[in-house]
Amino acid sequence: MNDKIVFFDIDGTLVNDEKKVPDSTKEALHKLRKNGIHTAIATGRGPFMFKDLRSELELDSFVSFNGSYVMFEDEVIHSTPLNTKVLEKLEKEAEQMGHPLVYLDHQGATSNVEKHEIIEACTYNLMPSYPIHSPQYYKQNDVYQVLLFCQEKDELPYKDSYSDTYGFIRWHEHCLDVLPHGGSKAKGIDAFVDKLGVKRENIFAFGDALNDLEMLKAAGTGVAMGNGLSEAKEAADFVTKSVDEDGIYYGLKHLGLI
């Protein structure tokens, strides 16, 4: 393969606020492939959450679950499931506190409770359907991320108890992502480096949010979207235009990749 690879975040990078991919972005990705440059998605989502997008953009390589499940074409090149024994302890504590959990693997989502209005409110835009009720799912299957539904005022005991094993990222007033400690999109990029032997200076990354910071710094060239957070812009080597101002096309053109 060509010795260059470009990673793209999804929300606010590949897709706009209306969850649509600009035509200019599709054209840019087509030109990248025509130039022999490999392209990959890098996201905090699970693979089942962006299956349609992968099909639409003809992208079959990705970093998912913030680095915990990584695929190059049809091959899993890195996976870091959550520790089952520690997860069992977390589940018991969450149940005692009245905080529901959703377990995520590469195929779908399951929950330790039946219909719950907070789960529904937080996930209806993320998942094709409500998580299947299967409290013991994590004991028989690899789980790469957990959604812990609690308010910020209730999260400290979890962080105190599990900070050596898990990382916690709040993305909603009622929900936290629980992932392996130290997990990030940058870890997923490292898997591509190990697998493909790509030089760091030939790795490019586009992002806009807090969970893109490590990736933007780890890439040879990090590109922040014009619509991105100030923290992303500070971490990047270059700031392109916003997603709705042909930011992907403009950025790739600026870098001489298309």
Q: For 205-246, how does the pLDDT look when each residue is reduced to its tens digit (9 = 90+)?
A: 999 998 899 999 999 999 999 999 999 999 999 999 999 999
9 noted as active-site residue: yes
The per-residue pLDDT for range 65-80, each reduced to its tens digit, is 999 999 999 899 999 9
Instruction: Give strand pairing partners of 62.
Output: 41, 71
Q: Is the pLDDT of residue 120 over 80?
A: yes
CA proximity to 218, closest of 42, 1, 33:
42
| C-alpha span between 2 and 144 (Å, rounded) | 30
The per-residue pLDDT for range 17-73, each reduced to its tens digit, is 999 999 999 999 999 999 999 999 999 999 999 999 999 999 999 999 999 999 999
Residue ranges of the domains in the chain? 5-79+183-254, 84-180
Q: How far is CA 198 from the centre of its chain?
A: 21
| C-alpha span between 35 and 166 (Å, rounded) | 40
Provide the pLDDT for residue 123.
Answer: 87
DSSP 3-state helix, strand, coil percentages of the chain (rounded to 5)? 40, 25, 40
Question: Once rounded to an integer, what is the mean pLDDT over residues 88-116?
Answer: 96
The per-residue pLDDT for range 123-175, each reduced to its tens digit, is 887 888 899 999 999 999 999 999 999 999 999 999 999 999 999 988 889 99
Q: Is 169 within 8 Å of 176 (Cβ atoms)?
A: yes
Provide the pLDDT for residue 249.
Answer: 99
- 98 SS3 class: coil
Fold exhibited by the domain 5-79+183-254: Rossmann fold (3.40.50)
Q: Is 251 within 8 Å of 5 (Cβ atoms)?
A: no
Percent of the chain scoring above 70 in pLDDT:
99
Provide the pLDDT for residue 5.
Answer: 97
- How far separated are the first and last CA of the chain, in Å rounded? 17
State the residue for tokens 């953009």. Answer: 57
Q: Dig out the tokens for 229 from the structure.
A: 């957070």
CA proximity to 210, closest of 252, 155, 171:
171
Q: Is 112 within 8 Å of 135 (Cβ atoms)?
A: yes
- Going 173 to 125 to 74 to 204, the CA torsion angle's sign is negative
Provide the pLDDT for residue 124.
Answer: 80
| C-alpha span between 64 and 47 (Å, rounded) | 6
Q: How far is CA 134 from the centre of its chain?
A: 24
Q: For the chain, what's the residue count?
A: 258
| C-alpha span between 149 and 152 (Å, rounded) | 10
CATH class, domain 84-180, is alpha beta
| C-alpha span between 146 and 159 (Å, rounded) | 14
Provide the pLDDT for residue 170.
Answer: 85
Provide the pLDDT for residue 155.
Answer: 95
Point out the catalytic residue in the list 3, 9, 164, 212: 9
State the residue for tokens 């403009």. Answer: 250
Within this chain, domains 5-79+183-254 and 84-180 share the same CATH topology: no
Beta-strand relationship, 132-133 and 75-79:
unpaired
Q: Dig out the tokens for 213 from the structure.
A: 């910071």
Question: Once rounded to an integer, what is the mean pLDDT over residues 103-110?
Answer: 96
Q: Is the pLDDT of residue 13 over 90?
A: yes
Provide the pLDDT for residue 2.
Answer: 53
